[in-house]
């Protein structure tokens, strides 16, 4: 696509995409270019976008079926839109900790597109993204071998009840099992696929063994700066990330100021697989 320009944020993760107006439907050539950039960079930042909710959803639908968040299944108006609002009165900000979106689902989102329209007057409110390809690659060969074949449980009650204090729906929030090491279905690359937001334990291990391994992996993610790309939001910025190979952390460093955005997510065609 001749008018699309890619400006990397880091050498391995994240890129700003120039020359694309997401308010217009992506034609086949545009979609192919954006999709390839998505696979190459995992986190795409589109600035100066002016979208209504239908245009936002249309962008997401170009990549697949839109997801409805487990905490908002009973809402009828724009159920695919997840509002991300933090003010001085908020008890928490969504995503304030390293996580991968909704891995408690059997088919977690393959990607999420967050459109921020209000940023804090004081600055701040960035989102950190971490490269789970690189997180896997930086492990020792013996650690990789030990983790291969292990399966972890991902439980929606951990964030939605434990952190957000929401009332579970009838039957509770989703709970699913996924491999600790997955293979990205499109790139074929290995991914470290556990996250502090949703992963409760590794099956088949004693509790202290599971906790020790998970805590080590979470420290690895949180304390390795080379994994991270930082997105600085401006009003009318849309960021689209590959949920299959990244984690992210919304930094709440702007109290008592406000930030507002809306997110759509796309359901994956297949379950996470080794």
Radius of gyration of the chain (CA): 18
- What is the residue extent of each domain of the chain? 5-267
Overall average pLDDT of the 213-236 stretch: 98
Q: What are the DSSP E strand ranges found in 47-97? A: 82-86
63 Cβ contact list (under 8 Å, min separation 6): 35, 110, 111, 266
Nearest to 64 by CA among 105, 107, 20, 102: 107
User: Annotated active-site positions, please?
Assistant: 99, 101, 248, 263
Q: Does the pLDDT at position 62 exceed 90?
A: yes
Give residue-wise pLDDT tens across range 3-36.
Answer: 899 999 999 999 999 999 999 999 999 999 999 9
* Count of CA atoms in the C-beta half-sphere (13 A) of 154: 25
Looking only at the bridges linking them, the beta strands covering 127-131 and 228-231 are: antiparallel
Main-chain dihedrals φ then ψ at residue 243, nearest 5 degrees: -75, -10
Whole-number Å distance between alpha carbons of 125 and 118 = 10
* Average predicted confidence (pLDDT) for the chain: 95
Query: What 3-state class would DSSP assign to 39?
Result: helix
Q: Is the Cβ–Cβ distance between 152 and 194 less than 8 Å? A: yes
Structure-token match 């900790």, residue found:
97
- What topology does CATH give the domain 5-267? Double-stranded beta-helix (3.60.130)
Residue 73 is predicted with a pLDDT of: 61
pLDDT tier for residue 74 given thresholds of 50, 70 and 90 = low
Lowest average pLDDT, out of 8-12, 43-47, 73-77, goes to 73-77
pLDDT tier for residue 52 given thresholds of 50, 70 and 90 = very high
DSSP state of 65: P
Residue 93 is predicted with a pLDDT of: 87
Can you give 134-156 as a three-state secondary structure string?
HHHHCCCHHHHHHHCCCEEEEEC
Whole-number Å distance between alpha carbons of 94 and 211 = 24
* Count of CA atoms in the C-beta half-sphere (13 A) of 223: 6
Nearest to 178 by CA among 212, 211, 214, 154: 154
Give residue-wise pLDDT tens across range 167-211.
Answer: 877 888 999 999 999 999 999 999 999 999 999 999 999 999 999
């Amino acid at each position: 696509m001749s008018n699309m320009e890619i400006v990397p944020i880091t050498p391995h993760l994240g890129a700003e995409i120039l020359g694309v107006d997401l308010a217009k439907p992506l034609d086949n050539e545009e979609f192919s270019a954006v999709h390839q950039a998505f696979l190459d960079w995992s986190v795409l930042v589109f600035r100066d976008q002016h979208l209504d909710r239908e245009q936002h959803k249309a962008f997401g639908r170009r990549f697949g079926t839109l997801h409805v968040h487990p905490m908002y299944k009973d809402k009828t108006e724009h159920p695919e839109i997840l509002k991300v609002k933090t003010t001085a009165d908020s008890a928490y900000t969504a995503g304030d900790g390293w996580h991968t979106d909704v891995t408690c689902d059997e088919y977690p989102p393959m990607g999420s597109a967050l459109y921020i329209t209000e940023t804090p007057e004081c600055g701040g409110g960035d989102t950190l993204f971490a490269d789970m390809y690189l997180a896997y690659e930086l492990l020792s060969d013996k650690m990789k071998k030990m983790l291969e074949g292990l399966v972890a449980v991902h439980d929606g009650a951990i964030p939605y009840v434990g952190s957000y204090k929401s009332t579970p729906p009838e039957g509770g929030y989703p709970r699913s099992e996924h491999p600790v090491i997955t293979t990205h279905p499109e790139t074929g690359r290995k991914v470290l696929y556990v996250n502090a937001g949703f992963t409760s334990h590794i099956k088949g291990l004693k509790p202290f063994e599971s906790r020790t391994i998970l805590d080590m992996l979470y420290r690895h993610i949180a304390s390795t700066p080379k994994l991270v790309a930082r997105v600085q939001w401006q009003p009318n910025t849309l960021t689209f990330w590959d949920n299959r190979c990244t984690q992210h952390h919304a930094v709440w460093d702007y109290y008592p100021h406000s930030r507002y955005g809306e997110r759509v997510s796309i359901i994956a065609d297949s379950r996470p697989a080794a």
